[in-house]
Structure 1
């Protein structure tokens, strides 16, 4: 599992499938390039809060991705998590359940 680094990858993921959840929005796009590695991108805009809040949210999303994506994610796809306003107050277990549900939704 590697990270997305270029803006064009985030924009390409935006054209894929999306699963809005209360704490975040999941974007997923299969790359079709015969590379089986999963890539993850995390973004939290300034609308969500100050730098401390945004960084804490990104840390939680990274931990969630490490925990859930190896088993539930789609190999050879880009996954992007976009933080939402209510995401930082949500319980970690609730976020984890939402991520599993969102991944099942975009895999269909």
Structure 2
């Protein structure tokens, strides 16, 4: 059985937020491989006030901790020995989702965000940031040179 440590310090949460992401309807997993530290996975939970009242947020965290404990028992050795930080950002549907659905989400999210290999240049979280037509950015048409009137004769 793999042991998964807990993330407790804010800088660790912020560092994991800069890594890869895996989204589901119930949660977002953010993960970052660590270098030069002790082996093993470390996991943290974030449930914002937008999700609900304190009792609902605590219940979501308890459900996620139980799902992590179940998934950790079945993690392959190579995955359990990776040195990575993972943050689970829960959403409202995690409160009412079936427990099996939460464990399935975690089984898919953990390998996705702890995948070895470095993102290429200009990529954050494994996504390309190129300026293609699919990026939604518009390219401005070339404008007239500054300080020059176009279409107006001199002296008017």
What TM-score results when the alignment is normalised by the length of structure 2? 0.64
If each structure's helix is expressed as a fraction of its own residues, which one has the higher value?
Answer: 1
Unaligned runs of 5+ in 1: none
CA separation in 1, counterparts of 2:42 and 2:9? 12
CA separation in 2, counterparts of 1:42 and 1:49? 15
CA separation in 2, counterparts of 1:58 and 1:83? 8
Larger-gyration structure (1/2): 2
Unaligned runs of 5+ in 2: 116-156
Q: Deviations over 1:18-37 (max 9, x none)?
A: 00111110111111124112
CA separation in 2, counterparts of 1:98 and 1:29? 18
After the TM superposition, which segments of 4 or more aligned residues of structure 1 sit over 4 Å from their partners?
Answer: none
Matched, 1:7 2:14: no
If each structure's strand is expressed as a fraction of its own residues, which one has the higher value?
Answer: 1
Q: Which has the higher contact order (CA 8 A, sep 6+)?
A: 1
What TM-score results when the alignment is normalised by the length of structure 1? 0.90
